[in-house]
Structure formats: structure tokens, C-alpha cells
Structure 1
Amino acid sequence: MSLLPKITLHGFICTSSIKHHIHCPGEKCAWKEKHLNKTMVTGDILIDDTTRHPRRPNSTWEHILFTRLLSWAHDWRAIMESKRR
């Protein structure tokens, strides 16, 4: 049994376009702006792989940089708990 209280999580997928494909940037950018615009996400935390993200003045989230997974030993529970305080 977990000692942590149950946390309700809502996951969102945010993505970038693949720039070396001729049609991908335009088509994917149009699609992602419509469906995955991270500036429109509301929540407490935005886990993102880029340091460049537009943040609107009314953004509710705190950015956590996720560059790549080096180990499954990362303590994500501790990270999430630290953001709840």
C-alpha cells in the first residue's frame, strides 16, 4: 500500500515537428497547434523536453525539463510530492 495519498493525474502529449521531412513541419505544426498547444494547457506541472516554451501570463503550470531518461531509478514520486507543497 502506498503511503502517498491518491493523486488524480491527467496526462497530455505535447510534441514538436520533424524538421528534415519536407511536409512534416507545416502539417504537423498546424495539427499540433490545433490539438496540442502547450500554452493552452492548464495544470500544475508541464514536463517538457525543451527549454523554449511560450508561457502566457495566466499559465498555471511550472515547467520541469525532461531531456531524456537516463535511468528508471528517477524518483518521480519525490518530484511530484515536492510540487504539491
Structure 2
Amino acid sequence: MSLKRKFKFERAPLIDNDEVRCSKEKFGFMGSKQPVESARTSQRNVSKVPNVLGEDPFSIEAHVKVLHSQYQKVQT
């Protein structure tokens, strides 16, 4: 494990090296095309309304109301 960590820290500064980048492209490494910060922010911007075919916000709200009323029946 100590050797694995040692080489990990040795390789970390080489990520931005042009020769390493060319070698990765040559052998088929498909890394992230966008910067890390933009990748993280895109995951946080999740729509609160699910994207379902054939449903609109009004029909989804109707389904939620029906389920809520059924739940209330079970509780009483």
C-alpha cells in the first residue's frame, strides 16, 4: 500500500504534462472533456419536476393528490 501511495503522489504532478496527455489519447483514455468545477455544478442543477413522457406538471400533481388521499385512508 505504501508503494501504491508513493507512485500515486509521483504521478499526480504529471497529469498536465503534454507527453502524458498524448500517451493517454494514444491508448484510448477518454477523460472528462469539461473542467471539474463545471461537472460538479451540472450535477447539482437537477430539475425538481421529473421528465416523464406523456405527463405534464398538472397530471403529475393530480397523481400526487390521489396518492396522498389513499395514504390518508390507510392512516385512518
The two structures have a TM-score, normalised by structure 1, of: 0.22
Structure 1 or 2: more helix by fraction: 2
Greater relative CO (CA pairs within 8 A, separation 6+): 1
Please say which structure displays the higher CA radius of gyration.
Answer: 2
Structure 1 or 2: more strand by fraction: 1
